[in-house]
Structure 1
Amino acid sequence: MIRLAEEKDIQTILEITKSCAKSMISNGVFQWNDEYPNLSAFQNDIKRNELYVLELDKVVKGCIVISTLMDSEYIPIEWLTKNENNIYIHRLAVHPELQGKGCAQQLMSFAEQFAIDNRYSSIRLDTFSQNKRNQKFYELRGYKRLGNIHFPKQSEFPFHCYELVL
């Protein structure tokens, strides 16, 4: 089941994202670290009603942020659609024990259906340039790679921006 996150879910979400960061780092992917994702980001997501969790047997096992806010880092990207009526995906995470079992697909399908149901023109996101697994994941779903942005607190390497026109 996918539902809106609540304050009581934050500790579990942080544990999941820390496990994801540890798993990525052990595979040479330095995408997440101690600074990101963090408590304040998830608290803001909940306040804006943009954080969703995947529950399996009443236990939170993953999360996704579906936002209408365009981060300033995205401004230079030549998007396929106008900068209006878009949603942005952030902080997609599934506990490493469940990765490869369709949970991320389920969360992305939920986000895509949400966008369709609410008549958004596209879905935008970024993923780390060194995370080939994520790039393949989004490209197989039909997302088009458009350009790069940088998050210096996270990595010296760029993040690729993607868009799916609905």
Structure 2
Amino acid sequence: MNVYNSTTKDIDEIFKLYGIASDFQRSKKTVVVWPDFDRSMVSDEINENRQFKLLIDNKIACVWAITFSDEQIWRKRNDDSAIYIHRIATNPDFRGHNFVGSIVDWAKSYAKIQQKRYVRLDTIGENKGLIRHYTNAGFDFLGMFDLQNVDTLPPHYKEGPACLFEIDLNKSDK
């Protein structure tokens, strides 16, 4: 397993995995479903080295993106030094490999290199299974929060409260 920056050659596979993830969410009928994401947003993430892929046997097993600011979701907490993980999507051929755990390990190292204190992520709606999954991976669940301004966020952010999660690297090292 190796983590690399995604390239423009990966964009079709990234969107294929997003579609598979959306279909999976739809099949659960209890979670918010990802919309069709803006291709230019993902292209910008790739060009800014913020879109990543995990490879197994030279196949994309999982993708995710990061950002260093997420003010609309994290509000005042956005002033903290953090990386924010978004849109983890797994190739169904590789399900069951606990990629969230692998991403957490990678993100902790990456955050330290970037001199960030926190690793954060969010999900929309009260998905108890996903809350349990993220807390089992080492995140602290901070609670559910209504977002105030979602106009420039992807449309699924209008569908429920945001569940916020973080790992404080100053605490996790002790």
TM-score, normalised via structure 2 length: 0.81
User: Alignment partner for residue 113 of structure 2, among 95, 113, 117?
Assistant: 117
Equivalence for 1:40: 40
> Which amino acid in 1 is paired with 2:44?
N
Are the structure 2 counterparts of residues 140 and 115 from structure 1 closer, same or farther at C-alpha, using a change threshold of 3 Å?
A: same
Residue 91 of structure 1 and its aligned partner are, at CA, apart by 1.0
In structure 1, stretches of 5+ residues that fail to align are none
Counting matched residue pairs gives: 161
SS in 1 for 2:100: helix
**8 Å contact 1:149–1:161 — kept in the other structure?**
no
Equivalence for 2:57: 57
User: Alignment partner for residue 157 of structure 1, among 152, 160, 172?
Assistant: 160
**8 Å contact 1:64–1:90 — kept in the other structure?**
yes
For residues 106-151 of structure 1, what are the alpha-carbon distances to aligned partners after superposition, in whole Å with 9 as ceiling and x for unaligned? 1222112211233211112101233222211221233222241445
> Which amino acid in 2 is paired with 1:148?
F
For residues 26-65 of structure 1, what are the alpha-carbon distances to aligned partners after superposition, in whole Å with 9 as ceiling and x for unaligned? 0114433333x33222112112211110111111121111
Q: Which structure would you say has the larger RCO, counting Cα contacts within 8 Å and 6 or more residues apart?
A: 1
Question: Do structure 1's residue 67 and structure 2's residue 67 form an aligned pair?
Answer: yes
In structure 2, stretches of 5+ residues that fail to align are 170-174
Are the structure 2 counterparts of residues 19 and 27 from structure 1 closer, same or farther at C-alpha, using a change threshold of 3 Å?
A: same
Equivalence for 1:14: 15
> Which amino acid in 1 is paired with 2:145?
N
2 CA distance for matches of 1:29 and 1:99?
A: 20
2 CA distance for matches of 1:114 and 1:158?
A: 28
Equivalence for 2:137: 141
SS in 1 for 2:106: helix
2 CA distance for matches of 1:30 and 1:127?
A: 10
Equivalence for 2:93: 97
2 CA distance for matches of 1:120 and 1:40?
A: 27
2 CA distance for matches of 1:58 and 1:116?
A: 27
Q: Percent identity?
A: 21
